[in-house]
């Protein structure tokens, strides 16, 4: 399981949190500190804004509504993955004695996660992600006329105020001796005269149950090529 007490970052990847596994040598979990816009198979950001409306005074397009599509993720890029694997391999080889095998990236055991995306004042999206792998969370929201107009302005300005928050809980290794279980059992005894009596036997043993670890990952939400992800439809 994920070891919350041994978290570290790498000098070249300050925005990535890394947790080793508590049992598997070379096993690690890696998460970005800030959620991201997911990328499709071609590397394009999974965010789009379709506005529909009509021509207003002077022939300018005036939005009367729209549809926003967005998918967020906690997945790292292939370049980040490779950098982490290289550093983990170096660390394993530097141990005395060296740890055999190759570094292995593991997926966190998500217990619960809530996602909030803020794009413009008064307009927040909330959702439940996939709870597997990079914890993708997909949104599709129909916009009112006012929302469409405000979002169009922010979109043209690069969505500078956009942000995303993942409030998550993951399964993690407990601290040593942090949890105990008390058991009691009655045992029968016989005295010298053959009479039966009973006594209580108390047994205390350590429990190795997983412990939930709360994580809040939040920050600015950025995407490249927003203008290419904007379309308008005349009615």
Query: How do the pLDDT tens digits run along the chain, 235 residues long?
Result: 999 999 999 988 999 999 999 999 889 999 999 999 999 999 999 999 999 999 887 788 999 999 999 999 999 999 999 999 999 999 889 988 888 888 999 999 999 999 999 999 999 999 999 999 999 999 999 999 999 999 999 999 999 999 999 999 999 998 654 443 434 444 444 555 555 555 443 444 444 567 899 999 999 999 999 999 999 999 8
Residue 224 to residue 235: CA distance in whole angstroms: 29
pLDDT value for 56: 81
Strand 104-105 relative to strand 27-32, pairing: parallel
pLDDT value for 181: 41
Residue with tokens 């992600």: 129
CA-nearest of 214, 175, 217, 198 to 76 is 217
pLDDT value for 158: 97
User: Per-residue pLDDT tens for 19-34?
Assistant: 999 999 889 999 999 9
Residue 17 to residue 8: CA distance in whole angstroms: 6
Q: What are phi and psi of 104, to 5 degrees?
A: -130, 120
Give, rounded to a whole angstrom, the gap between the first and last alpha carbons of the chain: 55
């Amino acid at each position: 399981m994920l070891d919350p007490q041994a978290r570290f970052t790498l000098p070249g990847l300050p925005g990535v949190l890394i947790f080793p596994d508590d049992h598997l040598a070379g096993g690690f979990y890696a998460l970005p500190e800030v959620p991201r816009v997911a990328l499709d198979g071609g590397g394009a950001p999974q965010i789009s804004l379709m506005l529909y409306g009509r021509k207003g005074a002077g022939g300018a397009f005036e939005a009367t509504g729209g549809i926003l599509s967005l998918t967020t993720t906690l997945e790292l890029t292939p370049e980040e993955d490779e950098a982490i694997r290289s550093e983990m391999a170096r660390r394993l080889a530097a141990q005395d004695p060296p740890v055999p095998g190759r570094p292995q990236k593991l997926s966190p055991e998500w217990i619960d996660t809530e996602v909030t995306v803020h794009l413009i004042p008064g307009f927040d999206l909330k959702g439940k992600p996939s709870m597997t792998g990079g914890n993708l969370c997909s949104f599709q929201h129909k916009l009112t006329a006012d929302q469409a107009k405000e979002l169009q302005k922010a979109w043209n300005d690069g969505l500078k105020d956009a942000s995303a928050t993942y409030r998550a809980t993951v399964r993690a290794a407990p601290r040593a001796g942090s949890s105990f279980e008390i058991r009691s059992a009655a045992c029968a005894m016989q005295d010298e005269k053959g009479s039966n009596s009973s006594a209580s036997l108390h047994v205390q043993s350590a429990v190795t149950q997983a412990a939930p670890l709360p994580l809040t990952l939040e920050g600015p939400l950025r995407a490249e090529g927003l203008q290419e992800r904007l379309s308008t439809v005349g009615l």
